[in-house]
Amino acid sequence: MSIKSWLRKHAPYGDETYIRVQWQGPTSYTQVTAGSPPSGGDSITAAQLGVNMISHIYAMASYTGNFEVVPIRISDKAWTLQWRALRSATIPASGPGSESQTTGTEAASGTNLSAEYQKLTINTVTG
């Protein structure tokens, strides 16, 4: 996980801010395990963004079209991103972290997603 770039835009009301980030996938993905709270996935925190709270995350397909991200709320300050395959393929095509993916299922544990980028719009509270 890493933030490659971002744009912070203040909403016209209260302390809410919308942040657009280009989010890079992890080098070794861990599947989400159900629980209270769930564990695994690709974590994103309010502290990483320099805000007090994350109220919502909007995601789209990755730039390659191989994956989508399903944001899962853990708390006001922490979310996890579940990467789901949009096509069946071996991703990456070869090398370390190369895993077979099946359309509609969560990315396999150990998959290297560092070549995958997501554009996230994150609704936050700064004050």
Report the pLDDT value the prediction gives residue 72, as an integer from 0 to 100.
95
Picking from 18, 112, 113, 17, the residue whose alpha carbon sits closest to that of residue 68 is 113
Report the pLDDT value the prediction gives residue 49, as an integer from 0 to 100.
86
What residues in the chain have per-residue pLDDT under 50? none
The rounded distance, in Å, linking the Cα atoms of 121 and 19 is 6
Report the pLDDT value the prediction gives residue 125, as an integer from 0 to 100.
78
Write the pLDDT tens digit of every residue in 50-85.
Answer: 888 999 999 989 998 999 999 999 999 999 999 999
- For the chain, what are the domain ranges? 2-125
Report the pLDDT value the prediction gives residue 50, as an integer from 0 to 100.
85
Full 3-state SS string of the chain: CEEEEEEEEECCCCCEEEEEEEEECCCCCCCCECCCCCECCEEEEHHHHCCCEEEEEEECECCCCCEEEEEEECCCCEEEEEEEECCCEEECCCCCCCEEECCCCECCCCCCCCCCEEEEEEEEECC
The pTM score is: 0.84
